[in-house]
Amino acid sequence: MHTSKKQTALDIILKYFADFNDTQLQQLQQLEELYKHWNEQINVISRKDIDSLYERHVLHSLSIAVLCNFEPGTQVVDIGTGGGFPGIPLAIFFPEVNFLLTDSIGKKIKVVNEVANAIGLKNVTAVHSRVEDIKGRTFDYAVSRAVAPLGDLWRWVNPLLRPGQMSEELPNGLICLKGGDLDKEITESGLKEIVQAWEVDNIFDEESFREKYVIYVPKK
């Protein structure tokens, strides 16, 4: 009965992705119980969203994977990962890609580490740090979800990104998940001429993704 419930919760993911191996499926199945457990101790997901974990957090994170298929060996930094989104779902999806998950709040990084360890994610490192304080490392892509205005994100991460193209779809750069009316934010960022945007509800046909976007800025 317990397994059946988990499988039902996963249906929203399996509706769009059919090629997970057994390890990935097991990792995905474990997320619900783990996040419910840790969320009772350290609030990393809003109470109203925890029952929609797979749709509002996991599937939302995987919209990045639809648009950008990271090649093995790609280095990705997740800015302000919170409880591990989009980094943990992407790390499950891309087991041969290396992810550094950062957040300025230590207790959130504790949750990320506990979840990653519990499901056996070997390609995730989580650090208690602001991304702008990271020294001596470079990345192919940066990802984030609802962390800061686009101009701030770009200012923080641009020095850490290296030119190149570690995906057939998109050259190296910043890929972030945002919501609402973004015209003013994009204009104020000074990046309007190079930004690309996709509506998430065109990627996944779910009502909850209306007015949510994937925003991309290439590293020049």
164 is in an annotated binding site: no
- CB neighbours of 37 closer than 8 A, spacing ≥ 6? none
**DSSP of 52-95, one letter per residue?**
GHIIIIIIHHHHHHHH--BPTT-EEEEET-TTTTTHHHHHHH-T
Phi, psi of 192 (to 5 degrees): -55, -35
HSE, CB side, 13 Å, CA atoms: give it for residue 55: 18
CA–CA–CA angle 203, 208, 211 (5° rounding): 70
Are the C-beta atoms of residues 177 and 144 closer than 8 Å to each other?
Answer: yes
d(CA 67, CA 84): 20
131 is in an annotated binding site: yes
- CB neighbours of 93 closer than 8 A, spacing ≥ 6? 17, 24, 62, 65
93 is in an annotated binding site: no
80 is in an annotated binding site: yes
* Of 144, 79, 80, 84, the residue nearest 111 (C-alpha): 84
188 is in an annotated binding site: no
Binding-site annotation: residue ranges for S-adenosyl-L-methionine? 80, 85, 131-132, 145
Binding-site annotation: residue ranges? 80, 85, 131-132, 145
